[in-house]
Structure 1
Amino acid sequence: MEPQDRQSIDLTRLQVPDGHRYKVSIEKDESPQELRLRLIRELVVLAVATLFVIAIGAICLVVVLGKSSSPDDRKWAFGILSGIAGGCVGHLLRR
């Protein structure tokens, strides 16, 4: 049965079991142009972030593998490389 007024909903007619709740929301559909722009933005952010992580990883590898690097320099480079590796594994496992 449709409500008489399209701008009101009669919530008293809903039969909600004990221990349950309900939520009402009205959302605007995403237009094809908005979807396209959102996907392009997400791809650009992904590409920039990937290049940034690769650049930092490369710098750390140069420090770790460099013969003139001090032990302190190698220590922070290993820490950053460990963080990058952990972040990649976490992203792949979704945790």
Structure 2
Amino acid sequence: MSTAMNFGSKSFKPRPPDKGSFPLDHFGECKAFKEKFMKCLRDNNFDNSQCRLQSKDYLECRMDRQLMAKEPLEKLGFKDLMDAPPSQAGTENKP
């Protein structure tokens, strides 16, 4: 007795990748950011602490283009690089 398989009866539903895995940037949408980060690493003897701004920009590019899940930058370790809130920025120029 043979068993027939119905390959067409199930539909594949894609789901977002698990945290820590993400699709490759096949179209090079964030290539310029990646290249800046890699140049910074080479220029600083691969000391990634010197390239945190470039790393932040690269991750923001990936999140903006849905190449990775959106995460608050504070959770990714960039709290110290975040812009000051507008309420504080306006008080710096006042006498």
State the TM-score, normalized to the length of structure 2. Answer: 0.30
State the TM-score, normalized to the length of structure 1. Answer: 0.30
Based on CA coordinates, which of the two structures has the bigger radius of gyration? 1
Structure having the larger proportion of residues in helix = 1
* Bigger relative contact order (CA 8 A; separation at least 6): 2
